[in-house]
Structure 1
Amino acid sequence: MDSPREAEFDDIARLAAEVCATPIAVVNLVDTHRQFFKAEVGLGVRETPLETSFCGHAILSEDMMVVNDASKDPRFDGNPLVHSEGGLRFYAGALLKAPGGLPIGTVCVLDTVPRDLDAHQIRTLKLLARQVMTQLELRRSIADQASAVERLSALMELGDRLRPLDTYADMARIAGEIVTRTLRISRAGFGRLSNGFETITIDGDWAIEGQASVAGIHNLDDYGLFSAALNDGRNIILNDVRSDALTKDDTALLEAIDVRSMINVPLVVHGKAIALFFAHDRLPRLWSDSDIDFVRSVADGVQVNMDRLSAQKEQKILNQELSHRLKNTLAMVQAIATQTLRQVTDRQAVEAFTQRIGALSRAHDVLVNQSWSEAIVRDIVVAVLSTFDRMDRFDLVGPNLRIGPRATLSLSLILHELATNAIKYGALSVPEGRVAVEWRVERDETGDILIFSWIERDGPPVVEPSGRGFGSRLINMGLIGTGGVEASYRHSGLMVLMQAKLQQMQQT
């Protein structure tokens, strides 16, 4: 209805007029109160009221209606189109039928004088009616394909935009925006249902300009008889709240928020509806299967992302609890070690042992923030070195790299040993000394290699230690316990270069 003129339909109207030798020919579509002329010859208007039309009677026929002289037909008594001066007398119309058999209009010819059509003209009108339906179905098919592409694109956009969000309200608003825009409706959003379906709490929605948000808590029974359908997990599809059995008895509250049609898709967990995604329109609307499928797909996407968010929140709580228990365990180990080793005269060794346990604790803190799966190299470096209260004397340079949990623990212990030695004997033992900590990735024939360097400068002269203590052995084991370490005891300060395959660092 109300589409612009198109040459294909204009050609059909002209051909109908020529074959039937009539001054008027029309391709029309019938609505509830009017008929719209998709194409016309001899009329000069695009629509007329249905109550005075011939086609209002034609669509009640089987496939063809012929009126030889309307002035003698009781169906048109008092019709101004017939009984006015120069009024219409002859009409012949072949029905346009949708695939399901529903009549939607006619291809018709009219004249101001009584007459008849021969068999050839009648066959031609019927053939032209079939051609109109072919053209309409072609356009609907193209429109359906375009709509399918648009909706697929919308679902892809939904996934991209929901993924980084971390609140239910934001997810509801983004999903509502996409549904509202794609279906060209007035409002959409998400709400959580109470256990007995007494209330719905709408965390967020999206509405077009001029349409109010309905965010907040609502009593479901105030809006219709929805509880039974929700209890069964069924979709609630209302084409017009004024005529649907669920709402027709009292539509005041729905119409107060500009709802004439809606889709409610429940989100079901373990057989029980816990929430629903809704789509509202302020006009009556015959929701198509593709409309319902699209809203269902959006609802599923929202549920997946909300489940993800819930899982992340639960994981965060578990990680915090695990971290708390691990710290308590490490603190107990330190306490036991302190008591067990209190008679040891080499207090330096005892202190080194407890400090190494502390380094492990800080490495676990970094891992907890990434759900124990990985850690960022810079975070590890800062976490370990900041405990020595000399961060202003470290120069940190390196890309944003992530490594696995085992490599995180190894790097933490190595950094602790290097920093401890620098404070005791190296660059950090004098006020002017500094340490450059750098990491980078280089590629060779075997793949990506992580190069990690510790370079001291402006400290006292250093010499290679004569002994092979635990700290030295730990450093020489390298980033993943397989070596790859080069230590240079230069006059300007210690330089340690460590390398390992990046893939192994990230997998261990």
Structure 2
Amino acid sequence: MPLPDDIAAFVADRDRLAVLAEYDVLDTPPEADFDDIVLVAATACTVPIALISFLDRDRQWVKAHHGHEVGELPVDQSICAHALARAEILIIPDLALDPRTRNGALVTGEPQGRFYAGAPLLAQGGLHRLGTLCVIDTVPRSGGLSREQALALEVLARHVVALLEPSRVARTTDPIPTLLLERRGTLLERAVQGAKEQARTQAAQEAGAVGTFEIDVASGTMSVSPEFCRIFGVPVTPNYVASLFEAAVVPEDRAVHSNHASRQDGSAATEVVYRIHRADDGRLRWINRRSRFERNDMDRVVRMVGTVMDITASRLATDRMGALLELGDRLREADTTEAVVSIVAEILGRTLDVDRAGYAVVDTPCGGFRVERDWTAPGTGSLVGNHPLDGFPATIQRLQRGRPLVSADVLSEVQLISDTASYQAIAVRGQITIPIIVAGDLVGVLFAHATEPRAWSMEEVAFAKGVADRADAALAKVRAETEQRMLNVELSHRLKNTLAMVQAIALQTLRPVTEQDAVKAFTSRLLALSKAHDVLLQQSWSAARIRVIVTGVLHGVGQAERFDVDGPDLSFGPRATLSLSLLLHELTTNAVKYGALSNAAGRVSVTWRVEGRGAEAAIHLAWRERDGPPVAEPSRRGFGSRLISMGLVGTGGVTVRYPSSGVEAVMTAPLSQVQQS
């Protein structure tokens, strides 16, 4: 982060460095007086970090620190160097968005600073600037410092220099002026006491977030408190016109807000809740106003006085809790993946007031992700469809760690620089992306997108994680129910066809039998067997050996000699046993009708192997046909194709090819899931 030429020249100015050398402060041990000042500065400005620094030719050396321990920084990494070139306080609302500072060590590394305010340390009547007294926050502050906080920072910066003066005078004159030494202690005592008092007052105002106002009804002018100004995002001045704040109210709420007419006749509600857009940053805020009217001797309204309180935090917390309750209620009724994703996207996007929200299925082996459904604000494009992963390598790498990815502005994050073009293509600046991890693999993401930079609160991130947890559980439930229904239907269908054939054969064979009661008993037993099978499908089945499963299915077609079967002897759990049986049955049936088993020369190879060890072990099962008639990919996808695509454990992992030599299908699944009971 090289310094601009003008600032670099200012830092390296020989006269300035000569004056700095007179103070002989560099590389001196810590002193309690300076430690007190950074403590008071952090308290007064309500930030976690404060530093007293001096700028040498090639380094920023820290004399005192609070909240973050740092000794020195290279001058080209110095944020304070930018403040040094100014005679007044430098305020940077978001260090990660400012091109001067976004790559700085204090931003990209610890303490990951986002807000900065620095007052220069002015020596010799302001002719030379030695360094800065700065405060740093770990979250952006669009409102910067209040007037009182800025004043406190300037006063404390002057006292830093005042503390240094006795030492400088001691080296340049003799004897040491006793009055100056006494003044040092007095100045510090007054500064600390005054700053602490200011900090207490400011903290009380901001903690309560209560502003006061008084409106002269006849003229429409207002007298307002500093906190009132901060709530509405306007400069802190004592007087405004009421119409300015009326215009800030969102159109839907203007009916409940007072206006000139309702104040004149006293009909305005005295306690209301309404929404505004702040003047400085445009953010939506919830306001609770309480007021009363004052009347003259003729009972005419002359003044409206009252308080306003910013209740946004409590209101949003209530809304988020209500949204989670609504989500739970609606997900209980959802019975398809599309329904779950639509509900989740809508509630996430609406509650966080973002531009886009949705759910994407991630297929890392295939190098892509698919957005099934998303919710978008008016004017924002949808992402529904397939997308390549290679445009987001840094994003995927971070999500695979299993932690949420929260970005105020993706274009200013150094860690995501390789993905910048891809984010620009889909109009994303701010994001919350929650990874869905299954068995150590990234299988999906829940995302909330903002088209403009946005600072996310911890509460918003926690809400998104809560939505993701509920979405994951609902999707797992739908997948399980869908798989079970498909398998049940197919098994019942196949069993009924088989039993119907047995019944037809029995009736044909037993037609000459005179004892028809026995025939009826036999057919009724077949029907009972069919019903018993339906019941058994709901129970746990015992595990089976894979070779037994494979040979059992293949012998069913009466052409076992045309199969080449090879692989280690493994145990399959009941779910995988059922899936494999159905897959092989489907592949065998197709081979008999259209593939290698439809002529006299064709053969089929069924092989399987295990790769990896422990939790990483996976089974690969391959079906390959040869010497049959030429094949082509079917033009329509029927139930059988969908059944094959579900794979060994119902989660996919199937690749089907149609070379002219014959159909090839490879199925892959984690061994632990295949053997799960």
- TM class, shorter-length: 0.3 to 0.5
Asked which structure has the greater CA Rg, the reply is 1
TM-score (norm 1): 0.47
TM-score (norm 2): 0.37
